[in-house]
Every structure is written in structure tokens, then in C-alpha cells.
Chain A
């Protein structure tokens, strides 16, 4: 057993930090993905954020809440990503980003509860809605392809998906309120 108190402290800090990092992955992803408007690169940006967070382990004060501190790193990575991808950079101005950032932090801090609620709400979809959501998010079928197979326009399919997402968002909110979360 290692009895050196300095080494033990380092190990304890690392262990506690890993626990914090892993338990907040969903919240961090939710924050990043929303800031990036659902860009598939969100998972990569999360990975880069994790690396930055890990590199800053020595600077972290365990007396402070983890999430706001981690969101700061995530926000920097999102901005770097947006600067390096001109198509994404077109999407939001500074004011919109500020508004999104604030709301994102609220939503993301509730990510675990929201996910539980989402699972309940998915069970309320009718078969057609469930089919569409499954193809879009589980099979990851491009919307263009879904539209071709259904002989509909991309706009129609995207509009239907948007209505389902909106319904799910309302359902999630109602579920959280009903359960007093």
C-alpha cells in the first residue's frame, strides 16, 4: 500500500475527479449539443472538453460546484469548433449565443431527469411517430432518404419530426412538473 500522503492525495483527487466527470457526461453533452444545434460533432467536442477538463484537474477546487466550472470549458470548445467550421459559424450571433448559453445551463443541469422523462414520453408516441423517431435517431437514416421512401418532401418530414420533438419537450416538462422535480 502506498503510504506517501502526497501521492495518496493525488490519487484521491484523481478518483473524485473521474467520478465527477463521468457522472456529468450527459449534462455536458446536452449543453454542447444544444449550443451546436444538434450538430453530430457534439460528441467529438465533448471528448475534447473532457481532455481539457482532465488537464485542469490540479486547478479544480472541490469546494466549488463542478458543473458551472465544466460548462466554461465546454463553452470554449464550442466556440473554437464554431470558429473552425464556417458553416456552423453562420448560425448564431453573439446575443443569441448568450441567451442559449444561459438556458442551456439550466436544461443541462436537469439532463438526467429529462432523460428519464423522455423515456416515459417516448412510450406515448403513436406507431407512426415512433417509426419516424426510430428511423431518425436509432437507425440514423438521413431525412432525405426517409422522405424518398415515403414519397414526401424533406420539408414535410422535417416538419413532422419537429412537431414530435416539440410534443416530447412539452411532455418532458409536464412530467418533471408532475413529479415535482
Chain B
């Protein structure tokens, strides 16, 4: 009986911590069926667990104060040298930091060694940042401990010692809760999280975004809504309100906007610059050549969150080709690289998964006179819409596809000799013809499907790419007399 009680307690702890296997769960169920009273002696513990879960925010503050008090006790007699070197504010901040970091995940090894003198993150880069005076998390200019960070302008990058890198852009207010949790109250954060730090989370007033091994962006907007975009891997998004019981997964290429009531909508497109910065676009803007991108995928599919990414001035060798693929890259066919007329063009990352959709249409609204380019896979005949609206420049570029077995099990992936090469003219897997349409007048241009083989059973195909340059930008060298089609 005693062993059954002991085993029941062991299994109960695993159940409470969400760490039991199916077999252990079955064993737990069997034990309590055989003796229902086993649970009675543990109800106060279970209830304490419930309170800890419910009040996690409150206990965070409570424990922060407690640790800070311990810090004051421990450093109650600072040396004269310390007193001379540090201002009072710096002294208390540093003193609290010494103990506060014990709560940070990055400090696990330090805790084990009973030494607690490391911050949990560093500011490793910054540009034009103006810190607010209540940025309590900042110690000695670049070290970060749990607390608040506020910048009025500029951008900076946090390198957490547990692995994640978080880039913050624009006016932002956030609270570093621990090495695994950031509360973003306002502004934009982009996180790259290594596999070892899976579970890193960014929480806004309306959603919690939990990394599952990925690169993702979160923006806490001034209108109270939250934008989430996944650049690689997967995140789980839990709305703070709304009827949904379980987190929702967003995968590479997805983007969604969540409001305070828990409703979630697809974000059709975002803009990016060459530094990786991103922003959600306001419809109808005429600041750029490409004013908007819109497809005909029906919006009543509730779990459809695919988002086109337009990188302004971003087309270059090794530029990622698709929003839903982290490997495929555009490249020139030779070491000379992409043709000069394409280098530095604005380009749209499309979805390679849409290459088989025969009903697919993509509408691009052009805001200024533009050379619009489509890169069409040479393995398949050009579709009619392409031949009718565009002209083949006679120039080809390449797609370096990288690993082929990335979806396979680990044991098979190890056998994959294909890699993504760095630089032009290497590892080209397929070639694409560059088609051009000279759009003299602003307005919409509707593109069709990727095309198909005349008979089934032929080789594969890839989705087309899209780029744009100003009308007066350099043209293909073979271009004797460009003709304007007008739209």
C-alpha cells in the first residue's frame, strides 16, 4: 500500500507538470480506480498548484520583491571602492540584478554553482536608441536583467544568454520577465530562437506567442491588436480572449492579426527591407512600386494565414525565393550573379505550395510606372496568361533548392547531400526564364497559376517569382526596343 501511495504521488507530480507519458497516465488512472481515496491526501497540493498557475503574474512580482530583499541583505556592507564607483541607483539595480538573475533560465548553471552574478541578456547592437528613464532592466549600458526596457526611438538587439536573439524596432515598451518570457506591451520584436530554447515566449496584451523552434515577429500595435508572423519554423499562438481552448499553430510564411476579443485574421502581406526589418502594410500606400499583393484564396478558410513578403530593394544572389521555404534561393547562373537589371529590385516571396493550384490568381497593384518581372520555371511550358501579358527577356536565372529531404525523418535527412550554396552560379537545381511587363500606368496586374505539364506524370515544377524595378531602371542587355504595354 505504501508503495502504491508513493507511486501515486510520483505520477501525480508528473501529471501536474504535464510531463507524464501515456503509459504513466494509464498507470495513474489505474491506481486511482483501484483506490479512489489515494488522491485525498494530495488535494491541498493540487490546489496550491492551481493557485500558482492562476496567479503566475502576481507571484512573479512577489518573488521579485523577495529576491531583491535578499539582494539588499547580501550586499548590505558594500566596500568603499564599490560605494565610490557606483551611484546609489546603479548600486541597487546591480545588487538586485545579482539575485534576480538567479530566477533566469540562462543562469541555471550559475545557480548550480551557487554563484549568481550574470545578467540574462545583453544589448549586442543598437542604432539611434533613446532609452526611457524607467528602463530598469538595463545595467551598465548593455547588460539586461529582469525588468522593463523602453526606447523612444531606434532599434536594438538583445542576445539572451540562453540562446534567443530578439531584435526590437521603433518605440517599444517591454518587460523582461525571465530568460524565457518577454512581455511586449508596445512595439515590435523579431526573435530567432535556437532549438535548445524552444518554449521562449513573447506575450502581448492580447496574445501569447510560444516559439517551437523558429524565427518569428510580434508587434503590439497602438490600436491594441497584435500581429504575429512566422519567418521560419512554427509558433503556438494563444489568444487571451475568445472561445478557443487550445493554442493555434502558425507555420513558416503565416501571419495573423489578433484583437482583444480573440478574433484572428489573416495578414495578406508585409513589407521588409534589406536589413530584415518588417512591417505590416497599410492598404493603398503609394510609397513603393508594389502597393499591394492579394490572392484569390477564399478567406472563409479559417486556418489560412499565408502572407506574402515584399522585400524592397532586396533581390540579390542567395535571396530566399518563397515565404514557405527556408532554403530555396534565387541565384545568377554564373559566378557573375544575377543580371544587373534585377539586382536590388523589389521582390515578392510567393508560396511554393501554391504551384499545383490551377485556380490560383495573384493580383499586384502597381503604384508607379514599373518593370514587372515574373520568373517562370523552365521545366514547364509558360502558361497562357504569362505569354499574353509578358514578354520573355531571353534571360534565365537559377533556383538553388538546398536540401531535398528536409521533411524526411532525421535518419534520412543525414543522407541528403544537397545543400544550399553561398554565392552565385553554384548548386543551381532549376532554371527560370525572366519575363517582363512594362506597366506604364498604375493599377492592378493579375497573374495566374504556375502552369502545368501537358500530360501528367512529368517532372515537378516550382512556383514563379516576382520582382519590380522603376520604369527607368536598367533593362535587359538584349533589350533592343522595349515596348510599353500599359495597364
Contact = CB atoms under 8 A, between A and B. Distances in A.
Interface of A: 26, 29-30, 33-34, 37-38, 40-44, 47, 87, 90-93, 95-96, 99-100, 103-104, 107-108, 111, 114-115, 118-119, 122-123, 125, 127-128, 130-131, 133-146, 148-150, 154-155, 157-159, 161-162, 165-166, 168-170, 172-173
* Binding site secondary structure of chain A: helix
Interface string B15-41: 111110010011011001100110110
A163 B122 CA distance: 34
Contact of B32 (A91, A114, A122, A130): A91
A173 B112 CA distance: 31
A17 to B, nearest CB: 20
Given A33-B50, A104-B47, A158-B17, A119 B59 contact: yes
A108 B59 CA distance: 19
A127 B116 contact: yes
A123 B198 CA distance: 29
A161 B18 CA distance: 12
Contacts of B99: 127
Contacts of A115: 51, 55, 58
Contact of A138 (B111, B178, B199): B178
A34 B53 CA distance: 11
Contacts of B91: none
Given A34-B47, A118-B52, A138 B14 contact: no
A155 B302 CA distance: 39
Interface string B288-325: 00000000000000000000000000000000000000
B76 interface: no
Contact of A139 (B26, B33, B178, B245): B178
B62 A122 contact: yes
A40 B45 contact: no
Interface string B51-72: 1111111111011001101100
Interface string B77-103: 000000000000000000000010011
A169 B180 CA distance: 27
Given A93-B36, A141-B199, A38 B60 contact: no
Contacts of B57: 138
A139 B180 contact: yes
Contacts of B19: 142-144, 154, 158
Interface stretch (B5-13, B329-337, B358-366, B406-414): B5-13
Given A30-B47, A90-B25, A99 B40 contact: yes
A134 B67 CA distance: 11
A165 B198 CA distance: 25
B53 A138 contact: no
Interface residues of B, number: 68
A26 B55 CA distance: 9
Contacts of A125: 63, 66
Given A127-B116, A137-B56, A162-B9, A34 B63 contact: no
Interface of B: 9-10, 12-19, 22, 25-26, 28-29, 32-33, 36-37, 39-40, 43-60, 62-63, 66-67, 69-70, 99, 102-103, 105, 107-108, 111-112, 116, 162, 177-181, 196, 198-199, 201, 243-246
A142 B49 CA distance: 15
Contacts of B181: 138-140
A114 B47 contact: yes
Contacts of A90: 25-26, 29
A107 B47 contact: yes
Contact of A162 (B16, B62, B70, B103): B16
B199 to A, nearest CB: 5
B149 to A, nearest CB: 17
A30 B36 contact: no
B136 to A, nearest CB: 17
Contacts of A169: 44-45, 47-48
27 contacts: A37-B16, A37-B46, A38-B46, A90-B25, A92-B32, A99-B40, A103-B43, A115-B51, A118-B52, A119-B59, A123-B66, A127-B111, A130-B66, A131-B102, A138-B60, A140-B181, A140-B201, A142-B199, A145-B198, A149-B162, A155-B10, A161-B13, A162-B12, A165-B45, A169-B45, A169-B47, A172-B44
Contact of A42 (B16, B25, B53, B105): B53
A100 B54 CA distance: 19
B62 A123 contact: yes
Given A96-B32, A169-B48, A40 B40 contact: no
B59 A33 contact: no
A29 B56 CA distance: 13
A96 B36 contact: yes
A150 B59 contact: no
Contacts of B70: 127
